[in-house]
Amino acid sequence: RFNKACGQAVDGWVDLRRLREDEQLLLKFDLQQIKSFVHRVKNA
């Protein structure tokens, strides 16, 4: 969002310094879920 607001292209990178603690925890959980999903798909 920050990049877009500044007129820059969104690049997919997350600036962890800008995240609140709760957002960091949610991101960590989401990434764990993605990792688990990829692992299951590879082993299917």
Q: What pLDDT is attached to residue 17? A: 87
> Cα–Cα distance between 7 and 12 in angstroms, integer?
15
33 vs 8, higher pLDDT = 33
Answer whether residue 1 shows pLDDT above 60: no
Question: Domain for residue 22, yes or no?
Answer: yes
Report the domain count for the chain: 1
Q: What pLDDT is attached to residue 16? A: 84
Structure confidence by residue, pLDDT tens digits, 11-43: 677 888 889 999 999 999 999 999 999 999 999
Tokens of 10: 């969104």
DSSP secondary structure letters along 1-44: -HHHHTTPPP-S---GGGS-HHHHHHHHHHHHHHHHHHHHHHT-
Tokens of 33: 């879920």
Question: Domain for residue 6, yes or no?
Answer: no
Answer whether residue 7 shows pLDDT above 90: no
Full residue range of the structural domain in which residue 30 is found: 17-44
